[in-house]
Structure 1
């Protein structure tokens, strides 16, 4: 597939800007401003410092938490101004800020909450107050004030407040334990005043053997955190919706001939990632939302797209930033076919294949089973 000239220019310019930005920061870890991934699910904000960001293991606990949520058939939209993590993390948005203390999070929280309006907040903060020896005795009061600011800004949200994980340095660990000991009382005071605040005992779930550098967890340690968050979320009705809920109106699209689903290759969210068929699995890269303008959206802001606005038989099909052009408009027909409006040709599985990974195309409509599709709940 060769993108059109305007797309080639846009992609080249975006690459230049990316390289400049990476050179300026000296990093290739993929951390930066959020791409605002969204599947329309229940908005959950992972909030905190480098342990939320996933230092040492990019994505951190969010990887295992996302995988558990997906396996449990919960439709969740991680939200926040930051973005990082590997491909098997289905949503990279978060609000984790390496090196930040409670007061620094508090100084920014109102704006973040206005922007992202989370339904649920996962708060793990205080480690840097200990590490920086920053008025440690006042840390519980700062945490209490931060929780008040969160519950004021999003009064209907469930706020899960975790004790901070262990530290290898014995003096810092003693300070962490003193800080943690104050958290249950803080949480109870919020509950007593009618706030939706919940305690998560994270400290007991890890030991210093779960730390890669004395501060940040190993991959296994982060997964223990993921399990603790998941159990806490499941214990509070509504905090992550219900299994099988589909707040976005998204659906899976299954090929009649293949029995496999319309899928974005490698769960990629990159412009030009090809559409294929794959075993139906309810993952975000198989959840398509029809819009009134005829789009088929995935990840919130990407559209199923006929490459280069081609009208030729065999033209490839991929995802691209939604732009309102006719090569991103699709029509569902009564015979089960899906027509690419701009080309007036049908979404087609080449050569009647039924194999995982076969890349899709458009072809002159024939009514054959390799051009017929069934819409199903994801």
Structure 2
């Protein structure tokens, strides 16, 4: 290989590695197959609240898994996570982005950093790109439907681990 060819090969390998990190998720959560996102803390699913679905600010919560469209999510190129019923994206509210407890909601997909998520497959964490914090199910609500989902400092306990 010539030095130029070697650099190109390394650049392509780096792009492939980054793309695999952002898009690679086990199970059905992939760019071409919507699937459930299940929390390890109580095995409930990430759910777009049917009482508020349809517009920006739709609440995201945990609910018994039933597989309807409001519980189906698609991981898209670049790190967007799109809801199957509303077509809106998982979004960290900008007003509190620097704080633990920041609301996670659905919002029209715009691809800004507060809507970009990285799935750390080895630990099961969904990390928000802008804040560096993890998608977190409120541990005080685990065990029941309607458990709040928010951002929190990453600690990898079961309430922050997600499986697809």
Runs of 4+ in 1 over 6 A off after TM superposition: none
Shift of 1:251: 1.0
Q: Contact 2:45 / 2:64 at 8 angstroms: preserved in 1?
A: yes
Q: Contact 2:31 / 2:76 at 8 angstroms: preserved in 1?
A: no
Separation of aligned partners in 1, 2:86 and 2:55 = 13
Separation of aligned partners in 1, 2:63 and 2:125 = 18
Secondary structure of 2:58's counterpart equals coil
Instruction: Give 2:76's aligned residue.
Output: 291
Separation of aligned partners in 2, 1:369 and 1:296 = 21
Shift of 1:351: 2.3
Shift of 1:300: 6.2
Separation of aligned partners in 1, 2:106 and 2:31 = 22
Q: Tell which structure's C-alpha radius of gyration is larger.
A: 1
Instruction: Give 1:331's aligned residue.
Output: 118
The alignment yields a C-alpha RMSD, in angstroms, of 1.8
Instruction: Give 1:249's aligned residue.
Output: 33
Secondary structure of 2:147's counterpart equals coil
Separation of aligned partners in 2, 1:357 and 1:304 = 17
Summarize the alignment of residues 163-174 of structure 1 with structure 2, pairs less than 5 Å apart: none
Number of residues of Structure 1 aligned to a counterpart in Structure 2: 130
Q: Which has the larger share of helix? A: 1
The higher-RCO structure (CA 8 Å, 6+ apart) is: 2
Instruction: Give 2:92's aligned residue.
Output: 306
Q: Unmatched 5+ residue regions in structure 1?
A: 1-245
Separation of aligned partners in 1, 2:31 and 2:105 = 25
Greater mean alpha carbon deviation, residues 302-311 or residues 342-351 = 302-311
- TM (normalized to structure 2)? 0.74
Q: Deviations over 1:5-41 (max 9, x none)?
A: xxxxxxxxxxxxxxxxxxxxxxxxxxxxxxxxxxxxx
Q: Contact 2:89 / 2:107 at 8 angstroms: preserved in 1?
A: yes
Q: Contact 1:349 / 1:361 at 8 angstroms: preserved in 2?
A: yes
Separation of aligned partners in 2, 1:312 and 1:296 = 21
Separation of aligned partners in 2, 1:362 and 1:335 = 16
Q: Unmatched 5+ residue regions in structure 2?
A: 1-29
Shift of 1:354: 2.3
Q: Deviations over 1:231-257 (max 9, x none)?
A: xxxxxxxxxxxxxxx994111100001
Q: Which has the larger share of strand? A: 2
Separation of aligned partners in 1, 2:155 and 2:143 = 18
CA 1:293–1:300 in structure 2 vs 1: closer, same or farther (change >3 Å)? farther
Residue from 43, 61, 68 that aligns with 1:276: 61
Q: Contact 1:311 / 1:344 at 8 angstroms: preserved in 2?
A: no
Instruction: Give 1:348's aligned residue.
Output: 136
Instruction: Give 1:84's aligned residue.
Output: none
Separation of aligned partners in 2, 1:297 and 1:251 = 11
